[in-house]
Amino acid sequence: IAVRSSRIDLLLQPGDVLCEVKSVGAARDGVALFPDAPTVRGLRHLALLSHLARRGRRCAVVLCAQRGDVRAVAADDDIDPAFARALRRAAAAGVRIGAIRCAAHPAGMELHCEIPVLL
């Protein structure tokens, strides 16, 4: 979905919710961690969604933990502290931050369950 100079992954209906999906592969001590490298693009998406949410637009970020051994997801403050701060700011601005544990298969994604996001 084109929004300003960015592309957001999904427009969820009903409700017109702009949704960005992030794939999470790294983990430590049972917590999936995103990102696994600094992400300028991810920062740009969070800034845009935060801006839109503050103006009343429904926005969400879904962190897809592609691991069966995790119980929660968190931003990796060590890898990308700017992204971690931006994720917390996005939540404070009204962006819904959610996480799903899932498994990737050649035929598609298998969704297991919602897991907490540790902000």
pLDDT band at 2 (very low <50, low <70, confident <90, very high): confident
pLDDT digit string (tens) for 59-79?
999 999 999 999 999 999 999
Question: What are the sequence ranges of the domains in the chain?
Answer: 2-118
Distance of CA 85 to the CA centre of its chain: 13
| CATH architecture observed for domain 2-118 | 3-Layer(aba) Sandwich (3.40)
Q: What is the dihedral of CA 20, 3, 15, 54, to 10 degrees?
A: 90
Beta bridge partners of 6: 3
Global pTM reads: 0.92
For 5-46, what is each residue's pLDDT tens digit? 788 989 999 889 999 999 999 999 999 999 999 999 999 999
pLDDT-based confidence at residue 50 (cuts at 50, 70, 90): very high
Give the separation between CA 79 and CA 100, rounded to whole angstroms.
21
